[in-house]
Structure 1
Amino acid sequence: MTWFIARRAGLLALSLAVASVVVFALLRLLPGDVAATIGGVQAGPAQIAAIRSDLGLDRSLPAQYASWIGGVLHGDFGRSQLNGTSVSAELGRKLAVTAPLVGGSIVVALAVAVPLGTWAAVRRRGIVGGALNILSQLGIAVPTLWLALVLVLVFSVELGWFPAQGFPVDGWSQPGAAMRSLVLPWLALGLTEGAVLLRFVRSAVLGVLHSDFLRTARARGLTRTQALLRHGFRNAALPVVSVLGLQLATLLVGAVVIEQVFTLPGVGSMLITDVGNRDLVKVQGEVLILVAAVLVIGFLVDLAHRLIDPRLGSPA
């Protein structure tokens, strides 16, 4: 197990290194010049050149990359090219919104998918199983943006239970207000992702229900529910964990849209603003954080697979 973790950690580190180079290089291909943006329309060539020198943009690309990645390794993502604020500090504040948003959404998705997917598999020939199958298909077809607007209309405009937009200025120092502002975003993301995950849970449980080892367990006197709880879920978990990792990556992308709809000050909103301003230092830090999150999720999925079935990754 130790060797397995070491190998996966090495691949993760290599992937992060390659991702940092790709992110840095691709952002340099974007059109426009941040020095011209700072200087304004009245700035002459000499002023723009001076700004470029102050920002270090006149150095070679390898030198710029080495300076940036050296800071990243020490937790310093640099400073904004437009206003000089610390990128690390601002990323920390934005992640305090985006991370709970994604985490709460996956909790909602699992709370919907695992029990209902299992129920749909066990009762597949009944009315309940058919109804859950139809509901999951409808859930997959519903766009997250549309569901978010419906939730706002019902629970904010009509009932007034939750705020339609915004996040407390003091952030999580007001935990009650912060959580109330995330309830509708959690539901918007979690319900749509839960509908997708429900289909995979149903399929995985159906595969287990027809397996030989479950029939053997039932022949030994266990009920179907007991056999499923003791022996079935562990085997059904492998494909579900794989899909869950992909869904987490999808949630990170979906969070960008939801943050715009609910005016949440998260990493997605920050990224869209900074791309428009061509603040490359902030953009490359934000993109690297998102890429790193996806890679770490893949790493954790590999570890979860090995914990569920120790035979995976073992030499033949």
Structure 2
Amino acid sequence: MLSIEVEEPVALVEIETADATAARAAGPYRWIGRRLGLGVVTLVLVAVIVFFVTMLLPGDAARVVLGNAATPERLTALRAEMGLDRPIIVQFASWVGGILRGDFGDSLVSRRPVTDIVLPALGNTLALVTAVVAISIPLALVIGIAAAVRPGGIMDGFVGFISVVISALPEFVIAIVLIVALSTGALALFPAVSLIPVGDSPFAHPDMMFLPALTLIIISIPYLALQVRASLQDSLRSEYVTMAELKGLSRPRVLLWHALPNSLAPAIQAAGLTLTMLMGGTVVLEFIFQYPGIGLALSTAVAQRDITTVQAAVVILAAGYIVINLVADVLTLLVTPKLRTR
């Protein structure tokens, strides 16, 4: 009897421990599932808002296509051909059904499939952002670490000062300054506009990518370096770093193996936020430099009242924001053990 009384609580404890372990193991997956669900809901709301807002834009797409000299009969016929004479709910249902099939419809202006306009432009934007990220993140890490290891030093003060100055300047001001400095006068080193031939990779024309990429690099590095500096300084003041130093570990070893890994989560979140800022910044900069990306395609479509192209570009940009934030959150979860046990 005594052995039975002892074994039953032990078995109960084992079962409870196994359940708790399974719950902790499933926690990250539930969290990722919730984030995915929230992302889908957000994208649906964006699609609804974009569709109905664009339908309320002033002007007439049929008149844009045919011109002011078009007769009422031709305008009526073209509106019927475009489906603009159908009830707005019917148009929305047809549009959503097309998106689910990967079909954003045809451009109201050029009559080409919208995917033939938006997807090449998206590829050009991703090429630009990839080049900027490949340069910005390593440089920001080096600058942030250099500023963090000597608080109050020259690099620390420089990073803080430059961050304030850059954050106070609009993107187009930085772009115009670079154009004046590097594309005009005696230093006409790079073209002021990025006239990349249709179908060519932007990487085949690095001189035309230089100014847009440099503008985005100047915008992104100070913010990233500031976040790396702040998170690393917090880690260097922590108890585990003090304990590692008391054990006699060298300063570089403490920095690389103890402080820096624990600073990755804030840095990853800052990198994700920077990527979303870059995606938004390309809309303005692509227009200034006439870079053939999705930002230029969007601004051109707005000017022409090409509703279907506007809708597709905005939905794709929104999907990009959601994916970037989700990836940043998942990476943060992977590098933060405490979050994986919740």
The TM-score with structure 1 as length reference comes to: 0.91
Structure 1 CA distance, aligned partners of 2:95 and 2:302? Answer: 18
Q: 1:80 to 1:170 in 2, by over 3 A?
A: closer
Alignment partner, residue 194 of structure 2: 166
Q: Does 1:277 align with 2:327?
A: no
Structure 2 CA distance, aligned partners of 1:128 and 1:56? Answer: 60
1:8 Cα deviation after fit? 2.4
Q: Does 1:143 align with 2:174?
A: no
Q: Does 1:244 align with 2:302?
A: no
Structure 1 CA distance, aligned partners of 2:42 and 2:286? Answer: 28
* Unpaired runs of at least 5, structure 2: 1-27
Structure 2 CA distance, aligned partners of 1:188 and 1:173? Answer: 20
Contact 1:95 1:266 in 2 (8 A): yes
Letter matched to residue 270 of structure 1: A
Q: 1:313 to 1:61 in 2, by over 3 A?
A: farther
Render the CA deviation track for 1:56-83: whole Å, top value 9, x for unaligned. Answer: 1122222212211222122211101122
Contact 2:117 2:297 in 1 (8 A): no
Structure 2 CA distance, aligned partners of 1:170 and 1:89? Answer: 12
1:49 to 76, 92, 96: 76
- Say how many residue pairs are matched: 314
> Within 5 A, what are the aligned runs for 1:79-228?
79-157=106-184, 158-173=186-201, 175-177=203-205, 179-228=206-255
Structure 2 CA distance, aligned partners of 1:34 and 1:244? Answer: 40
Render the CA deviation track for 1:165-206: whole Å, top value 9, x for unaligned. Answer: 2233154457432x2211221111111221122221111111
Q: 1:183 to 1:105 in 2, by over 3 A?
A: same
Letter matched to residue 286 of structure 1: A
Contact 1:101 1:186 in 2 (8 A): yes
Question: Which protein shows a greater Rg?
Answer: 2
Query: Is 107-116 or 17-26 further displaced after alignment?
Result: 107-116
* Unpaired runs of at least 5, structure 1: none
1:59 to 59, 83, 86: 86
1:313 Cα deviation after fit? 6.1
Render the CA deviation track for 1:247-274: whole Å, top value 9, x for unaligned. Answer: 2221112112211222211111111111
Structure 2 CA distance, aligned partners of 1:290 and 1:194? Answer: 22
Letter matched to residue 96 of structure 2: I
Alignment partner, residue 33 of structure 1: 60
Q: Does 1:268 align with 2:295?
A: yes
Q: Does 1:78 align with 2:105?
A: yes
Structure 2 CA distance, aligned partners of 1:146 and 1:259? Answer: 14
Contact 1:242 1:301 in 2 (8 A): yes
Q: 1:146 to 1:5 in 2, by over 3 A?
A: same
Render the CA deviation track for 1:31-86: whole Å, top value 9, x for unaligned. Answer: 12212323432334433222211111122222212211222122211101122111
Letter matched to residue 209 of structure 1: L
Contact 1:108 1:191 in 2 (8 A): no
Contact 1:274 1:283 in 2 (8 A): yes
Q: Secondary structure at the match of 2:249?
A: coil
Contact 1:39 1:48 in 2 (8 A): yes
Contact 1:108 1:194 in 2 (8 A): no
1:2 Cα deviation after fit? 3.7
Q: 1:314 to 1:17 in 2, by over 3 A?
A: farther
Contact 1:142 1:192 in 2 (8 A): no
